Amino acid sequence: MKSLAELAAIREKMKDKIVLREGGENTRIVVGMATCGIAAGARPVLNAFVEGVDREDLNGKVVVSQTGCIGLCQYEPIVEICEPGKEKVTYVKMTVEKAEKVLKEHIKGGKIVEEYTITSAQKA
Amino acid sequence: MKELSLNVLDIAKNSVKAGASLIEIRLEETDETLTMTITDNGCGMTAEILRGVIDPFYTTRKTRKVGMGIPLLKMAAEQTGGQVNITSRHESEHPDTHGTEVVAVFHKTHIDFTPLGDIISTVTTLIQGSPEIDFEFLHVSDQFRVALYTRQLREILGEEIPLNSPEIIQWIAQYLREQYETFSH
């Protein structure tokens, strides 16, 4: 059973790591979490990124954050990937499976998953 | 919305936008009903704004003119024979006691009752998005009591470890999951 005492132990373990996380520009994964995003299934997508970043040990290099409605509700759930010095990539109609693939191929592998981008969606 | 927990997430996000520093989410269940109460100490709404909030074409946004959060909640409650009540005190009239309270009552036995769904994900998503806000989550019935107070966690973690660190978010999810499991046996 989890206890608050266990949290204190996690704090001690994390203290050293936190120092490493400060400074330097991070890659940002931004998930749309307004009414439209939530209704379209953004919550599991956000969770997939949060869990994936932890699992792949990307803490400190990648930050997952939430934003409101960007006016493209028909394409929700929308995820934007902002890497320092690179153009923003917008992924649309995201799912947990797509999130896993973006994490693996784009975030870790550096290769944009073209088929999920808004550019591809608008061509189709 | 496919789950009521998504409505909870959506409505609590309004409290975040209202600049609240404390958001309480209380779910109380009987055999017949589920009562959802979301209370915040945000900027609140004037009577005029509050009147408009129930209308799907009312929003405070300047760029687009449709706000669907409250109407969707109202629909989910009323289709079970329940209702939504909102009381709010705007900071211009109540500088010390401003905030909003949304209370939704659902009849669980009605065929159109939407299941609560993954409430744990809603709580972790809120904390992940707003680690600086104090959330008080309480889910109670005759059979169980599940609670999470982020202020307690922050006291242990101190200033240097934000509540939205992935490790902490995972811990919170597990902490809540185990509380529910204790009562399901």
Q: What is the pLDDT of residues B31-86, one digit of tens each?
A: 999 999 999 999 999 887 887 777 766 666 555 545 789 999 999 999 999 999 99
Asked whether the beta carbons of A31 and A49 are under 8 A apart, the reply is: yes
Residue B151, SS3? helix
What's the domain range around A105?
Answer: 24-123
Query: Do the domain assignments include residue A15?
Result: no
Query: Do the domain assignments include residue A7?
Result: no
Tokens of A85: 């010095």
CB spacing of B9 vs A66 below 8 angstroms: no
Chain A residues with CB-CB distance to B118 below 8 A? 43
B141-151: pLDDT as tens digits: 999 999 999 99
CB spacing of B156 vs A1 below 8 angstroms: no
Shortest Cα distance from A112 to chain B (angstroms)?
24
Measure the CA–CA gap between A6 and A8, rounded to whole angstroms: 5
Query: Do the domain assignments include residue A60?
Result: yes
Nearest to A77 by CA among A40, A51, A52, A122: A40
User: To the nearest whole percent, how much of chain B has pLDDT over 90?
Assistant: 81
Q: Number of folded domains in chain A?
A: 1
Chain A residues with CB-CB distance to B152 below 8 A? 4
Spelled out in words, what is the top-level CATH class assigned to the domain B4-184? alpha beta
- Report field, pTM of the whole predicted structure over 0.90: yes
Domain with A38 in it: what CATH number?
3.40.30.10
B7-26: pLDDT as tens digits: 999 999 999 999 999 999 99
Measure the CA–CA gap between A61 and B184, rounded to whole angstroms: 39
Measure the CA–CA gap between B102 and B72, rounded to whole angstroms: 13
Q: Which pLDDT value is given to residue A19?
A: 58
Query: Do the domain assignments include residue A28?
Result: yes
Backbone φ and ψ of B150, nearest 5°: -70, -25
Q: Which pLDDT value is given to residue A12?
A: 87
Domain definitions of chain B by residue range: 4-184
Cα torsion B159, B139, A64, A14 to 10°: value is 40
CB spacing of B128 vs A46 below 8 angstroms: yes
Q: Which pLDDT value is given to residue B66?
A: 52
Q: Which pLDDT value is given to residue A23?
A: 54
- Residues belonging to chain A with any Cβ–Cβ distance to chain B shorter than 8 Å: 1-2, 4, 6-8, 10-11, 14-15, 18, 33-36, 38-39, 43-44, 46-47, 50-51, 53-54, 59, 64-66, 68-69, 71
pLDDT for residue A24 is more than 70: no
Whole-angstrom CA distances from A6 to A9, B24, B155, B156 are 5, 25, 13, 10
What's the whole-number average pLDDT of chain B? 92
Chain A residues with CB-CB distance to B156 below 8 A? 4, 7-8, 11
Query: Do the domain assignments include residue A108?
Result: yes
